[in-house]
Amino acid sequence: MPTEEFSRSVTVAATAAQVFAHLERPDNYVGLAPLVVAVRDVATLPEEVRYVAVERFRLGPLRWDNPIRVSMTFPRAGRQVVSEVHSPGGVRLTATVELTDTPEGARVRETIRVVFPRPLRPLVIGQATKAQRHRLAELARRMSETHPR
């Protein structure tokens, strides 16, 4: 299956530790990921957090809730969050967030790697890119409200 990878960065008004504390809690992904409206079935294991994120798609008056399984690991505690997402349709997404302290706050670099069936490419890449832009902008907004410098 085809694979694509892309990265974006943003500097936020908080320390890397503060951003990490926000990102390691699944409930904070409601609204951070633009389509995620709920998080359920959270299981905290020694080196992993698993949960189901509910994405809501709307088309006029119709809505479709898409439950996706997420597994978060923390290879570099306080500095890195890796989320593995398994979505219906054979789509697999890995989001790796790297956190680095800077004089202005923290640099957040998110790299997305997505594997998908070829016919779904336009939809998958379009949604993943849009979601990443939203997520980084929303994270910057949240950090500026929560941790003003």
Closest to 126 (Cα-Cα) out of 114, 108, 110, 137: 114
Going by pLDDT thresholds of 50, 70 and 90, the confidence category of residue 4 is very high
Per-residue confidence (pLDDT) for residue 6, from 0 to 100: 95
Cα(149)–Cα(134) distance, integer angstroms: 23
Per-residue pLDDT tens over the stretch 59-94: 888 888 889 999 999 998 889 999 999 887 889 999
Q: Could you tell me the domains of the chain?
A: 6-27+71-146 (3.30.530.20)
Model pTM score: 0.90
